[in-house]
């Protein structure tokens, strides 16, 4: 299948890049070794404490998600921009569809990014473990199931937003108004304290169903309140299911949107879309004849 071939290509090209090697292997290794050496030299006493509550783990995951997805998103944006600039797009689109190319790129780069954050997470786990005993014992099976799904979908969603931006701008200096949309998924992080203390507040519940906010909100919410059928401080199962469904559908639609923008944008290398044009490109793609274009 073409899509899986594109995914493999993008993945293998990026895993082999120097940038990936430095960020994923060398940086965590240096930090890990440095911390290990310091603790050995100073003979720090490992303090005893209880396992951290899920909310800390949820917060940690949300932070690592947003950091990792941001970096991976920027990489996707560059990748797509480069595709437009090196004029390879025309050749690619005579072979694969814009959807196959874009989703393949986003998934391939997303996988690289996931490997990256997994390495970071493990490093952090090991480094922190040198000072305080870290245990994941407080996580319930529900957390083990939902956290990875939110993480992966959130990752892809953010990558596809950045992918859309990359497809719509003419060079890296002209993000402008469009770049703003890239920060939408980050908004819940500003309300961390609120979400953690009032996980079932009406606004928090509503935000759980809005795809761009869902990963941030739910990673925090699930940490703060157990999921159960009833109870004032628990999250009903249907809410989690609905939130996941809307995030899944939202991610798919966002990736489609990015592909359509790319379909139009790649043939207009000299132009950055305005927000209005972005909307038009993304909804109608090339099937609409009211798009501008070269010869």
Partner 1 sequence: MATSVLTVDSIRKQFESVRAVDDVSFSVERGEILGFLGPNGAGKTTTIRMILGIFDPDGGTIRSGHGGAKRVEKERTGYLPEERGLYGDARVGDLLAYFAELKGLPRTEAQRRVTAWLDRFDLVDWQRSKVEKLSKGMQQKVQFIASVLHGPDLVVLDEPFSGLDPVNQDLLKEIIGDLRREGTAILLSSHQMNRVEELCDRIFLIHQGRRVLYGELDEIKESHGEHVVHLRYRGDATQLAETDGVTVRSAEQGALSLILSPQVTPDRLVRELLSDVEVLALHVDRPPLHDIFVRTIGGSDEAQ
Q: State which of positions 276-295 bind partner 1 (CB under 8 A).
A: 286-287, 289-295
End-to-end CA distance of the chain: 33
x/- map, 235-274, partner 1, by CB under 8 A: ----------------------------x---x-------
| Nearer of residues 232 and 292 to partner 1, judged by Cβ | 292
Give the range of 9-17, 49-57, 124-132, 192-200 binding partner 1 by CB under 8 A: 9-17
Is the sign of the CA dihedral 152, 155, 160, 161 positive or negative? positive
Interaction between residue 9 and partner 1 (CB under 8 A): yes
Q: State which of positions 10-49 bind partner 1 (CB under 8 A).
A: 13, 17
Q: Label residues 223-236 b or e (16+ Cβ within 10 Å = b).
A: bbbebeeeeeeebe
Whole-angstrom distance, CA of residue 139 vs CA of residue 150: 15
DSSP letters spanning 98-120: HHHHHHHHHHHHHHHHHHHHHHH
Shortest distance, position 165 Cβ to partner 1, whole Å: 21
Give the range of 4-12, 54-62, 169-177, 208-216 binding partner 1 by CB under 8 A: 4-12
Query: Among 61, 62, 64, 93, which residue sits at the site for partner 1 (rule: CB under 8 A)?
Result: 93
Query: Among 41, 42, 91, 193, which residue sits at the site for partner 1 (rule: CB under 8 A)?
Result: 91
Whole-angstrom distance, CA of residue 22 vs CA of residue 33: 15
Interaction between residue 5 and partner 1 (CB under 8 A): yes
- Report DSSP state, residue 182: G
Torsion region of 228: left, alpha or beta (phi above 0 gives left; psi -120 to 50 gives alpha): beta
- Report DSSP state, residue 26: I
Shortest distance, position 5 Cβ to partner 1, whole Å: 6
Token pair 């919410």 in the structure block, residue: 221
Give the range of 67-75, 93-101, 130-138, 194-202 binding partner 1 by CB under 8 A: 93-101
| Nearer of residues 96 and 130 to partner 1, judged by Cβ | 96
Query: Among 30, 88, 145, 283, which residue sits at the site for partner 1 (rule: CB under 8 A)?
Result: 88
Q: What are the angstrom distances between the C-alpha of 179 and each of 72, 87, 173?
A: 15, 23, 10
The enclosing H or E element of 254 equals helix 237-265
Binding site for partner 1 (CB under 8 A): 2, 5-6, 9, 13, 17, 86-91, 93-96, 263, 267, 286-287, 289-295
């Amino acid at each position: 299948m073409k899509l899986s071939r594109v995914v493999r290509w993008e993945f293998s090209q990026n895993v082999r890049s120097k940038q990936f090697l430095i960020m994923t292997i060398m940086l965590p290794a240096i930090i890990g070794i440095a911390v290990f050496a310091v603790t050995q030299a100073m003979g720090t006493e490992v303090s005893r404490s209880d396992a951290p509550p899920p909310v800390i783990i949820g917060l940690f995951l949300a932070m690592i998600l947003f950091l990792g997805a941001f970096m991976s998103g920027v990489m996707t944006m560059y990748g797509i921009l480069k595709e437009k600039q090196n004029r390879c797009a025309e050749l690619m689109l005579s072979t694969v569809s814009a959807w196959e190319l874009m989703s393949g790129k986003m998934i391939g780069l997303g996988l690289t990014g996931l490997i990256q954050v997994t390495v970071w997470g493990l490093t952090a786990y090991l480094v922190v473990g040198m000072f305080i005993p870290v245990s994941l014992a407080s996580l319930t099976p529900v957390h083990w199931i939902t956290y990875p799904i939110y993480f992966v979908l959130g990752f892809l969603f953010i990558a596809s937003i950045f992918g859309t931006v990359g497809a719509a701008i003419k060079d890296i200096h002209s993000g402008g108004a469009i770049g703003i949309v890239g920060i939408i998924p980050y908004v819940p992080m500003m309300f961390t304290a609120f979400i953690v203390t009032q996980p079932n507040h009406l606004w928090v519940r509503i935000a759980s169903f809005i795809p761009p906010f869902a990963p941030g909100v739910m990673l925090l919410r699930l940490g703060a309140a157990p999921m159960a059928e009833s109870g004032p401080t628990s999250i009903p199962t249907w809410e989690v299911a609905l939130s996941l469904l809307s995030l899944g559908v939202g991610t798919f639609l966002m990736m489609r949107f990015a592909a359509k923008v790319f379909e139009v944008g790649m043939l207009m290398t000299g132009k950055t879309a305005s927000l209005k044009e972005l909307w038009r490109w993304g909804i109608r793609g090339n099937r609409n004849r009211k798009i501008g274009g070269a010869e």
